[in-house]
A and B are shown apart, each in its own frame.
Chain A
Amino acid sequence: MPLPSYATPVQRTYYYAYLFFCAVVFFFLIAPLFAIIPISFSVSPFMVFTEGMLAWPPDPEAWSLRWYKNMIGDCSADVVSSTVPCSKKWMIGTVNSFYIGIIATIIATTLGTLAALGLSRPHMPYKGLIMAILISPMIVPLIITAAGMFFFYARINLVYTFTGVILAHVALATPFVVITVTATLVGFDMNMVKAAQSLGAKPMRTFFKVIMPLILPGIISGALFAFITSFDEVVIVMFMASIDQLTIPKQMWAGIRQEISPVILCMATCLVLLSIFLLTTVELLRRRSEKLRGIKAR
């Protein structure tokens, strides 16, 4: 939206002030995420930019990979610092996070896709009510969900188990799958299903050969949403998992609460990279899905 050539000086001033303001907001949104990356390569055990890091020419003494080594559980002499504990906890947490996240994603994607297929059929009864119930885990604040689940799962002996955590994460993640897959099914040409059936395909074959390839981008986006929901979730893990059932977010929480160490920033850097990867994938999938469904990019 360029400035017209007849703009008055006052208008010009306003316009550049507006652009400057927007730039500041973009900076505000993104700068914190990138500020932590250089600090994670620092030698210092404090989460600050040291003088050596800011010096020109760059001082190689100020930079190191010691906190990354600490993170992967390598506790050799050059890594250990008196203030920063070194343990295998981060790696245990990573394994657990992926374990919980992947199982929760598989269950959530299966249940969510089925439900989305049902919800997009024109004959679905009580659609509004059912949609409201299915979406509710996304709307209710996590702390309330966590409290309710803790009370209820305590009655059926599921607290302090991975099963309880996975069930809770599936409940939290399904709304994202339902929403993304339902959105993909909008504009899905139902005549293709009819064509497949009239050519003699059974429902299962129709699904896997006709519907599935077309909505696959939506399903994968939903699965990625589900995965990141479970992978990031900390409140439920804190209440429902036992002390030694660590995950990455729980370990980060403990790290911020007790031992402010640069190792947290190493893990944070890895997670920022993961989110860049996921964002790119989802964006590419969205474009592919639009192409598949014949919606032209605006």
Chain B
Amino acid sequence: MEDCISTSALLTTDGVPLKQSLKKAERKNKLRAFLLVFPLLLFIIVTFVMPIGDMLFRSVDDSQINGVFSNTFNEYKKWDKEKDVLPPEEVYKALFEELAYGEKIQIGRALTRMNYSKSGWKSLIKTTSREIKKAVKKDELPNNYKEFLISANDKWADPTFWYAMGQMVNNTTPIYYWNALDRTYDQDQNVVMQDEKRRIYIKTWIKTLKISVYVTIFCLILGFPVAHLLANLPLRYSNLLMIFVLLPFWTSLLVRTTAWIVMLQQNGVINGILVWLGILSDDGRLQLVYNETGTLIAMTQILLPFMILPLYSVMRVIPKSHMRAAQNLGAKPATAFWRVYLPQTIPGMSAGGLLVFVLAIGYFITPELVGGKDGKLIGHWIAYHLKTTLNWGLCAALGAILLGVMLIFYWLYNKIVGIDNIKLG
């Protein structure tokens, strides 16, 4: 039998070896499957992946200013800082020419970028530009560019400005990332902390993480018993009660946020009930909204379904006999719950917990509307730099860091949820 197979390869009716024919069919099937997915894949790559890539690129990009001052920066790189206090004549000459003949809009954009490195650049270049334009108009090119520039503005004799220029001479810069972590460069190109007053981001990062952790914990505390109840009720009742979880899930985020403002404001429902019950006096109404408390309450309610649903799906399949068996063997209900039931719910808790946490750190709308001054999270600054200050580099760097944090947690999520069971202790 065996040598019968090995002597000649099987052939299909048209004489092609079977293996080859099957491979061909397989390839065709693969191609067909891929062609079905291809339009959407292309669409997502163009409309979503490329924008995210663009953002990552912008967070380190410094090519605009390098295009404007390319000669100046080239000459600058030749400056030996040990030997000369001020850069050589060629740097001044290149700067003069690029300011005199460069495009005004491009120079304007470059100035904004220069001010991120050191304040004072904008006015310095503006006054100098004026003098240069005058000289060029009169056709009086100076013999000594260095003296000309210093006479136009004596800050050109101040080495600190020249040192600050050193941060911009490359096509890529890490400055936005340092800024996003409240750091900046000193005159010797060392990374140092910002002035006390300008440190806002680390505080916001910590607050974002803190609120996300609190929201996750609250969701777990509130969600666990509810998921347990839903999982153990007969399906008729649990399907009905599930509406309470799913309806908020389907309702517009803005509606839920508005509802919380109505509930929590000073004349709102909760304060009204507390005053009516006599717990609060009329002028002792609580400030529940437009602060961190408001953000916490609203976000907990909005994210709670994301905790309940994964917990429910895990608890649903835990056999009820386990608890009974444990108690039969002499465990007290609390022990049975702690040692038998709880460990089996860990996949659900970790899935729900990570989902809520990851959603919470990226939240923007709710904290922005109910957070007031001190309840705003990192998303607020991303939007602020995108629309108000137009510091797109910093905006992109903040976004990139947030994205990085998210991806780490998603990687964890994938790992933990992928593993079926984790033992306690």
Contact = CB atoms under 8 A, between A and B. Distances in A.
Nearest to B377: A143
Given A123-B29, A148-B52, A32 B301 contact: yes
Contact of A32 (B263, B359, B399): B263
Interface string B228-255: 0100110100000101111110111111
Interface string A254-266: 0011001000110
Contact of A232 (B232, B254, B263): B254
A91 interface: no
A149 to B, nearest CB: 4
Interface string A273-293: 001101100110000000000
Given A30-B248, A124-B30, A130 B36 contact: no
A29 interface: yes
A111 to B, nearest CB: 4
Contact of B263 (A19, A35, A141, A168): A35
B279 interface: no
Contacts of B382: 143-144, 147
Interface in B152-184: none
Given A21-B225, A152-B51, A171-B48, A130 B41 contact: yes
Contact of B248 (A33, A231, A282): A33
Given A118-B33, A144-B362, A171 B262 contact: no
A32 B369 contact: no
A177 B316 CA distance: 26
Interface stretch (B63-71, B83-91, B123-131, B264-272): B264-272
Contacts of B374: none
Contacts of B55: 144, 147-148, 151-152
A30 B50 CA distance: 39
Contacts of A137: 44, 48
B-side interface size class: 35 or more
Contact of B34 (A124, A133, A147): A124
Interface stretch (A46-54, A65-73, A77-85): A46-54
7 contacts: A33-B247, A33-B251, A111-B40, A141-B363, A147-B396, A152-B50, A171-B47
Given A151-B396, A256-B369, 18 more contacts: A22-B229, A26-B241, A29-B301, A32-B260, A33-B248, A36-B258, A111-B43, A114-B36, A114-B37, A123-B29, A130-B37, A139-B410, A140-B403, A147-B386, A153-B51, A268-B252, A271-B255, A298-B235
Interface of A: 1, 11, 18-19, 21-22, 25-26, 28-33, 35-36, 39, 46-49, 111-112, 114-115, 117-119, 121, 123-125, 130, 133-134, 136-137, 139-153, 155, 167-168, 170-171, 174, 178, 228, 231-232, 234-235, 239, 249, 252-253, 256-257, 260, 264-265, 268, 271-272, 275-276, 278-279, 282-283, 297-298
